[in-house]
Amino acid sequence: MDEVVRWGTLVCLSATGVFSAWRTVWLRRRTGVNPITFGRSDSAHDYLGRVFRVVTAAVAVLALTWALVPAVPQALGSLPLGTGARVVGLVLLCAATAWITAAQVQMGRSWRVGVDPEPTALVTTGLFRLSRNPVFVGMLGMLAGLFLVLPTAPTLALLAVGLTAFPVQVRLEEDHLRRLHGDAYDRYRASVRRWL
């Protein structure tokens, strides 16, 4: 069971990363727009971009190292969660992978990572009827799933960072959409929850 969970975790996280990279290239080729909007300034937006890069790199390193070196949980001080939690975590990781992929596809040409000053269409269909921020819901699900399959201090810290940083980024993006779409966004916001 441990091997299935280890490799399943790596497959889910890799699939999400590969798909997001492919979407970035696809969108750039189709529109000429780079969907990664984080820069290098001292703004809150760009600071969060650096936080997201660190979290992404840490998740990738942890998952790959754990897949190749099964003793990683013991070395990192594994927390006492049972096999059931690990199975739930793997299911959550798989579901988050599918959820994030679907949300990115449903955003079409409006998909961005961060706040793009250029206008994009307001997406309100598909998963966006359930959540105003389905990609972030999926990302939090992924971090929670990672903690359940690999219950260590570093994965708990990554989950804590996500629970702190993602809501700030969501609010920055919602402010941008309100300025961009006005009443249409206010109506959407009134009818769909921020998370779920």
DSSP for 109-160 reads GG--BS--SS--PPP-SGGGGT-S-HHHHHHHHHHHHHHHHS-SHHHHHHHH
Predicted TM-score of the model (pTM): 0.93
Q: Is the pLDDT of residue 1 over 90?
A: no
Domain that holds residue 29: 2-191
Whether 66 maps to a domain, the answer reads yes
Band (118; pLDDT cuts 50, 70, 90): confident
Q: Which residues contact 4 (CB under 8 A, 6 or more apart)?
A: 90
Given this model, what pLDDT does residue 164 score? 97
The DSSP code for 182 is: T
Q: Each residue of 52-79: pLDDT tens digit?
A: 999 999 999 999 999 999 988 888 888 8
Whether 196 maps to a domain, the answer reads no
CATH of the domain at 129: 1.20.120.1630
Give me the number of domains the chain comprises: 1
Given this model, what pLDDT does residue 149 score? 95
Average pLDDT over residues 136-146: 98
Residue 114 near residue 37 (C-beta atoms within 8 A): yes
Given this model, what pLDDT does residue 74 score? 84
Q: Which residues contact 50 (CB under 8 A, 6 or more apart)?
A: 38
Whether 39 maps to a domain, the answer reads yes
Helix, strand, coil percent values for the chain (each to nearest 5):
75, 0, 25
